[in-house]
Amino acid sequence: MAVKNIVVTDTLETFRTTFNDLALNDFGDIATLSGAISATTIVGAMNETISIATSSAGFTIEDSSSTQQIVGGGDVLRVFGTSNEIEAVVSATDLLTIGLPNAVSITTSVTAPTVSTGNMSLTNGSITDSSGQISFVNENLVTTGTINGGAITGTSITGSGATHTLGTIEISGNTIRSTDSSMMIINDNLTINNKLVAGVTSINPTGTNNIESSTGFTVFGSSLVLAQNKFIAFEGASDNTSETTLTVIDPSVDNVLSLPDNTGTIISTGSTDAITETMMANDAIGQNELKSVVSLIIYNSSGTALKTIFGAGA
């Protein structure tokens, strides 16, 4: 089909014959148009022809934005994607397989009600595993929020702050206290490898099972009762194998021994030459204190008794 032009110098007859020839030979007679085509214009007929051709020898693809593209005979449909995003395999006959690789990289985000991998599922902020345990192996777990759990088990728990709270027990530096009472309760045995300091009193301060007070006195708020066959031992000025032991003969009744209100040395039945004159008051020894008493009375010349002397009888 040649290009036909009408110049400004051509006559109307030239325009008529050229147009009729163009309509007859180039455009064709509309009466000869196939009945499968319903369009009455050249453009409309071409669109119908393309539609008919693609329906039998091609297809139309469309994306999520409803943008369409016709793939006709001779066209090539190419599927692109990096190796860690998508895998496309073309195989016979007319088969295109699109899948995901074993390792998928997502540069932005994944949005889904539930994401499952193996036994583990991520759903609405919760991570669960059908095995009942989620292991981070030897990786560190870092969070700027709060960890809430029924039980936390580990070889060590290290906090970055100055104060930590476990239930109602608060640990601040080297101080432990209860946040809801003024008493700490330990239900099991307590072993302390060094000394125990309670107020001014230290237990085992030098590692020799001692009890010492910084005030010089250790005060027991109640009576001190020793168990059966136990005693109190005094080391003395020298730390050696000799001690003075305070014990009692098996009591048959409740006895009370009172220490006098003065300073001195306690005398026992084993003491020798321990009693001095200053320890006895005047007239402290009479006939009642001697086993057998003889009295010597001294009289004056008028027969008045001046002095009575008591002595042990022969």
What is the sign of the dihedral through the CA atoms of 109, 111, 114 and 115?
A: negative
Residues 6+ apart with CB under 8 A from 45: 33, 37, 39
Q: Any residues with CB less than 8 A from the CB of 231 and at least 6 apart, and which?
A: 245, 246, 247
Greater pLDDT, 281 or 56: 281
Mean of pLDDT values over 86-96: 82
Domain ranges for the chain: 33-99
Q: Specify the range with the lowest mean pLDDT, choosing from 64-78, 184-198, 246-260.
A: 64-78
Helix (H) or strand (E) holding 121, with range, is: strand 120-123
Quote the pLDDT of residue 187. Answer: 92
Mean pLDDT in residue range 2-7: 75
Is pLDDT above 80 for 2?
A: no
* Mean pLDDT in residue range 241-253: 91
DSSP 8-state symbol, 227: -
198 or 169, which is more confident: 169
* Among 115, 137, 135, 134, residue whose Cα is nearest residue 125: 115
Element (H, E) at 90: strand 87-91
Q: What pLDDT is stored for residue 80 in this prediction?
A: 77
Q: Look at residue 314 in the predicted model and tell me its pLDDT.
A: 54
Q: Assess contact for 172 and 165: CB atoms under 8 A.
A: no
The pLDDT tens digits of the residues spanning 30-39 come to 777 776 677 7
- Write out the H or E segment, with its range, that includes residue 309: strand 305-312
pLDDT given for residue 254 in this prediction: 93
pLDDT given for residue 312 in this prediction:
65
Is the distance from CB of 194 to CB of 203 less than 8 angstroms?
no
The dihedrals phi and psi of 57, each to the nearest 5 degrees, come to -125, 10
pLDDT score at 261 = 92
Q: State whether residue 279 is helix, strand or coil.
A: helix
* pLDDT surpassing 80 at residue 304: yes
In DSSP notation, 138-183 reads T-----SS----S----S----SSSEEEETTEEEETTEEEESS-S-
Lowest mean pLDDT segment, chosen from 57-66, 122-131, 261-270: 57-66
pLDDT greater than 80 at residue 287 = no
Q: Judging by DSSP bridges, how do beta strands 244-246 and 232-234 pair with one another?
A: antiparallel
- The answer to whether the CB of 39 falls within 8 A of the CB of 47 is yes
Amino acid at 72: G
Distance of alpha carbon 136 from alpha carbon 143, whole angstroms: 14
Count the helix, strand and coil residues of the chain and give each as a percent rounded to the nearest 5: 10, 25, 65
Banded pLDDT at 245 (limits 50, 70, 90): very high
| pTM (two decimals) | 0.39
More confident residue, 187 or 208: 187
Residue 36, pLDDT score: 65
Which amino acid type is present at position 252? S
CA distance 41 to 139: 72
Confidence bin at 53 (pLDDT 50/70/90): low
In this prediction, residue 256 has a pLDDT band, given cuts at 50, 70 and 90, of very high
Of the candidates 64, 39, 63, the one whose C-alpha atom is nearest the C-alpha of residue 51 is: 39
- Residue 213 DSSP class: E
HSE, CB side, 13 Å, CA atoms: give it for residue 259. 5
Question: In whole numbers, what is the pLDDT of the chain averaged over residues?
Answer: 81
Over residues 196-205, mean pLDDT? 78
Mean pLDDT of 153-159: 76
Q: What is the mean pLDDT of residues 14-29?
A: 76
Q: Distance between alpha carbon 229 and the CA centroid of its chain, in Å?
A: 50
